[in-house]
Amino acid sequence: MKYDIIVLGSGPGGYVTAIRASQLGFKVAIVEKENLGGICLNWGCIPTKALLKSAQVFDYLKHASDYGLTVKEFDKDFSAVVQRSRSVADGMSKGVQFLMKKNKIEVINGYGKVKPGKKVEVTDADGKVSELSADHIIIATGARSRELPNLPQDGKKVIGYRQAMVLPEQPKSMIVVGSGAIGVEFAHFYNSMGTKVTIVEFMPTVVPVEDEDVSKQFERSLKKAGIDVMTNSSVEKVDTSGNGVKATVKTAKGEEILEADILLSAVGIKSNIENIGLEEVGIATDRDKVLVNKYYQTNIPGYYAIGDIVPGQALAHVASAEGILCVEKIAGLHVEPLDYGNIPGCTYATPEIASVGLTEKAAKEKGYEIKVGKFPFSASGKAKASGASDGFVKVIFDAKYGEWLGCHMIGAGVTDMIAEAVVARRLETTGHEIIKSVHPHPTMSEAIMEAAAAAYDEVIHI
């Protein structure tokens, strides 16, 4: 069983890589131990967005009177909400199955391990072992929820994101440890459904990777929604011996005991690099990551790695881009290394967060003289008409050359707006070019133009 390319893992890195390789004329096989589409499609990006959509509709019903509507009776069916999410994920996984057939990619179900000599050993569900070989082997095994020693997950009272997606019944209270994208998205979902939620964050601000203005605005939004937020705090230990969870939290004021039905650990991810044969092949790793060059080649010829297991942002769209670049390089095409400074990040809570490039603080630390523009959605006609006026667009330009250094948004629908900044930055667009590009009115996206105008003291609507 000889192939040109074998891909280990079928997440948004793996399956996209396989399809692009097939388009380039390679004979391709993909090895998957669970479901096509990987974590993102089955247990991450897609089903969480389905849950969040249900939460949004429920919020609309709760605030129907704000829109001049009267809804006398409504309620939620938590199990039906979860089932809808699973149905969306299942449908998308079947879509990937179709794409595999369409592109003549052989899908091999089982647990894969790389072997020396450009081979992959696959053990199926019945324990049967087979061996494949290829000229090129691309490892895309992704990541899982990280477990801290003081927060061991039992899957029932102390859970990770997978269990949070399919709880058999809605908890009355929940502690969320970590306020990155995963933590705050689940915090928002459960809070919207009626669960009492407390977020515990080790850093001084929530969503700590974001611009400070965004973090502050988001914390205000969380508290306004009724979510308790504890920053500069850490969970030291948990006690699950009773009916629920007792968490000992270390704060600046001393220790505090929090009680809840469930504790969700959202403290990051752990790369899936164990027990896949890396040591036997001699593939170099460092600090939980496979070491690769700018074309994703490992130190062993014929072996490559992409996605969450290599350095860089652990995001679905990054994994896809890395995989495409990797196979195009193998095919001999001219490719440019990925610009990790121009990767958009999105958080899908309410309000949404989207950003790309340098924060204001990082720009100053790099020595730039900057121009900063900010446009609040409270001044946006579309936002006011939509009943979603919380948030703003913030842009940062280099004062000397007009280079667009960073863009940071918080508000309704901003995850669908950030691509303008990504493309403009890649094309080296200046602030003045954004100002002079006519944006449609009334839209949320015209706030980008207005923010750019604010940076140059030309803003009209504030």
Using DSSP's 3-state secondary structure scheme, residue 305 falls into: strand
The verdict on whether residue 143 carries a ligand-binding annotation is no
Nearest by Cα to 92 from 141, 40, 162: 40
The catalytically annotated residue of 63, 334, 439, 441 is: 441
> Does residue 334 have an active-site annotation?
no
Q: Are 120 and 133 spatial neighbours (Cβ–Cβ below 8 Å)?
A: yes
The verdict on whether residue 112 carries a ligand-binding annotation is yes
The verdict on whether residue 336 carries a ligand-binding annotation is no
The verdict on whether residue 184 carries a ligand-binding annotation is yes
H or E element: which one contains 373?
Answer: strand 370-376
Q: Rounded to whole angstroms, how far apart are CA atoms 396 and 352?
A: 20
The verdict on whether residue 332 carries a ligand-binding annotation is no
DSSP conformation class of 65 = G
Q: Are 405 and 357 spatial neighbours (Cβ–Cβ below 8 Å)?
A: yes
The verdict on whether residue 178 carries a ligand-binding annotation is yes
DSSP conformation class of 441 = S
Nearest by Cα to 197 from 220, 218, 174, 179: 174
The verdict on whether residue 448 carries a ligand-binding annotation is no
Listing DSSP states for 193-212 in one string gives HT-EEEEE-SSSSSSTTS-H
The verdict on whether residue 49 carries a ligand-binding annotation is yes
Q: Rounded to whole angstroms, how far apart are CA atoms 60 and 56?
A: 6
Nearest by Cα to 328 from 316, 341, 318, 337: 337
The verdict on whether residue 411 carries a ligand-binding annotation is no
Distance spanning both ends of the chain, measured CA to CA? 66
Residues placed in the known binding site for NAD(+): 178-185, 201, 268
Residues placed in the known binding site: 49, 112, 178-185, 201, 268, 308
Residues placed in the known binding site for FAD: 49, 112, 308
User: What positions carry a catalytic annotation?
Assistant: 441
